[in-house]
Amino acid sequence: MNMLESLVLVVHVMIALAICGLVLLQHGKGADMGAAFGSGSSGSLFGASGSANFLSRSTGALVALFFLTSLGLTWFATTHGPAKSLMQQQIEQKDASKSSEVPTSPGALPAAPASTDPAKAAPASGKAGEVPK
């Protein structure tokens, strides 16, 4: 992950948190619905609520920025290919280092592991190693 992608990701998360905070701070239209039926003096039930205030305008601007950072992160993800985990990178490094090590003498080759398969093991003495018919 390069530095620009990390920066866009940090900005994206900060914008998401700011949007959550601004949405929670805003006064919903549903709170004025009870006032329209006689308990208060509301201008209209479902009509326009007048000009947008600072909170709604800033929420709209942050949503637009959130959309742009989402597009940017998508572009980074598609141009760099699938990301590899740290474990996958370490495994590839070990495989590369093993393939570059070439034994110089035939005695340097590792011995073949002993077979642990009971069917291939030497037959035991007596009837213990026989297969019943």
32-60 pLDDT, tens digit per residue, is 666 556 555 555 555 555 567 888 899 99
Q: What's the pLDDT at 116?
A: 64
Question: In angstroms, rounded to a whole number, what is the distance separating the alpha carbons of residues 112 and 35?
Answer: 86
Question: In angstroms, rounded to a whole number, what is the distance separating the alpha carbons of residues 89 and 98?
Answer: 14
Q: What's the pLDDT at 77?
A: 87
**Tally of CA atoms within 13 A in the half-sphere of 112 that contains its CB:** 3
- The DSSP output letter for 83 is P
Q: What's the pLDDT at 98?
A: 77
Question: In angstroms, rounded to a whole number, what is the distance separating the alpha carbons of residues 84 and 1?
Answer: 10
What the block records as the tokens of 48 is: 């326009």
Q: What's the pLDDT at 60?
A: 94
| Cβ atoms 12, 73 nearer than 8 A | yes
Q: Which residue has the tokens 């590369």?
A: 96
Mean pLDDT of all residues in 76-85:
76
What the block records as the tokens of 92 is: 């590839």
